[in-house]
Structure 1
């Protein structure tokens, strides 16, 4: 029997540090405001990165849902680059090496891409081991880029994917294809409508 499993990944709402274009991997900062949005997403399970900006976003979008938190859905840890901007880092040799080849170079005192990748793959294993047919994950830009680069129906490199803050994508696949790590059958954008009331 073919069982379909949809995973919707939503990028957290914007933070002050995002507006300032700072690297904030594991830095635990709040969102700027809690927008009043409406949607018709039905989720069997809602999981969020354990960082504050994702938890706040999840509680805004799913106020009546039990929300699970997991460190596995965190952004890449930017190490010594945390809290800094491109302008502050552009002449730093270790930053240039990382920007030119992030697969083989890691931020000093940060997380390697391979570790980041393994952490997300284990999080996917957890999702597909459940009986849920639709899981919503509130997470970070880098996590969503990784998932799209690996599992979107069309192949595009990591940096060519972009999901705005407070928006997301739904990846549709069968449980068997997820287990075999095959690309998804289809992909849909997820946008939220600003509510006019309240």
Structure 2
């Protein structure tokens, strides 16, 4: 039995195009994002998941990405794996915020404990993502049990966000990147996690 979890970052949005902080903002894919995903589907970069279990974070950009890649699939929502919430900084760029004292203090914090006004701290975000990963892993283990009795492979597909994926990868493979931001895949790309005896043991980028 093959056991894999596929983590896919949603496609390009206005937030990506304009370099905005937009974790909690429920914005759709940009036209460029739709076109790029269709191109990647034609290039067949995505893992097969015909009998897989599918998940999103419930935000428009993850729902659209799942539908464009795998079609109209029944799926569950794991809200704990949403992107970091930036509070008052949502939908604003560095240029918009660079002279705002609260922003300067926030980006200067090295401890990870400072939160943006109305938003999350890095530490709080990381704790939430770890809980989301625990939930996803648990659901995948149920899939493993199901296919062990019926035959086939255990496959889960999670469409989520760049910061979410980077945090998961940093948790699963500590010390393999100089900074967790290095784990962030391009929009529409991601990682396949392979499990052995229900434990995540290796990965492959796509």
Q: Is TM > 0.5 for Structure 1 vs Structure 2? A: yes
Structure 1: segments with no counterpart, 5+ residues? 178-183, 191-198
RMSD: 2.1
**For residues 139-189 of structure 1, what are the alpha-carbon distances to aligned partners after superposition, in whole Å with 9 as ceiling and x for unaligned?**
111101111212137522212223101111112233543xxxxxx422111
Match of 2:20 among 19, 22, 29: 22
Residue 31 in structure 1 maps to residue 22 in structure 2: no
Structure-1 separation of matches of 2:137 and 2:183: 24
Normalized per residue, which structure has more helix? 2
Q: Name the residue aligned to 1:62.
A: 70
Compute the TM-score of the two structures, normalised by the length of structure 2: 0.79
Aligned length: 182
Question: Is the 2:27–2:61 Cα contact (8 Å) retained in structure 1?
Answer: yes
Does the 8 A contact of 1:77 with 1:111 survive in 2? yes
| Kept after mapping to 1: 8 A contact 2:193/2:204 | yes
Greater than 4 Å deviation, 4+ residue runs? none
Cα separation, 1, equivalents of 2:93 and 2:127: 27
Shift of 1:75: 0.3
* 2:181 pairs with 1:163: no
Contact 1:11 1:167 in 2 (8 A): yes
Corresponding residue number in structure 2 for 1:129: 138
Quote how far apart the aligned CAs of 1:72 are: 1.4
Q: Does 2:123 match 1:114?
A: yes
Unaligned residue ranges in structure 2 (runs of 5+): 144-153
C-alpha separation in 2, matches of 1:118 and 1:4: 29
**Alignment correspondent of 1:80:** 88
Distance 1:116 1:135, change over 3 A: same
